[in-house]
Amino acid sequence: GAVVSQHPSWVICKSGTSVKIECRSLDFQATTMFWYRQFPKQSLMLMATSNEGSKATYEQGVEKDKFLINHASLTLSTLTVTSAHPEDSSFYICSALMEWSSYNSPLHFGNGTRLTVT
Amino acid sequence: DAKTTQPPSMDCAEGRAANLPCNHSTISGNEYVYWYRQIHSQGPQYIIHGLKNNETNEMASLIITEDRKSSTLILPHATLRDTAVYYCIVRGGSQGNLIFGKGTKLSVKP
Alpha-carbon gap, residue B35 to B22, rounded angstroms: 10
Min Cα–Cα distance to chain A from B81, Å: 17
pLDDT band at A103 (very low <50, low <70, confident <90, very high): confident
pLDDT on residue B78 = 97
CA distance to partner chain B, nearest, from residue A35 (Å): 10
Task: State the DSSP code for A16.
Answer: T
**DSSP notation for A41-95:** TS--EEEEEEETTS--EEPTT--TTTEEEEEEETTEEEEEE-S--GGG-EEEEEE
A43 contacts in B (CB within 8 Å)? 87, 100-103
The answer to whether the beta carbons of residues A111 and A9 sit under 8 Å apart is yes
Q: Do B43 and A109 touch (CB under 8 A)?
A: yes
Using the beta-carbon criterion (under 8 Å), do A91 and B41 form an inter-chain contact? yes
Q: Do A6 and B43 touch (CB under 8 A)?
A: yes
Q: What is the mean pLDDT of residues A57-65?
A: 94
What pLDDT band is residue A95 in, cutting at 50, 70 and 90?
A: very high
> Predicted confidence band at A54 (pLDDT cuts at 50, 70, 90)?
confident
pLDDT (mean) for A73-84: 95
Find the CB nearest B91 among A103, A110, A111.
A103
Per-residue pLDDT of chain B (110 residues; tens, 9 = 90+): 558 999 999 999 999 999 999 999 999 888 999 999 999 889 999 999 999 989 999 999 999 999 999 999 999 999 999 999 999 999 876 657 888 999 999 999 99
Distances (CA, A) of B102 to A38, A43, A53, A110, B22: 11, 5, 33, 20, 12
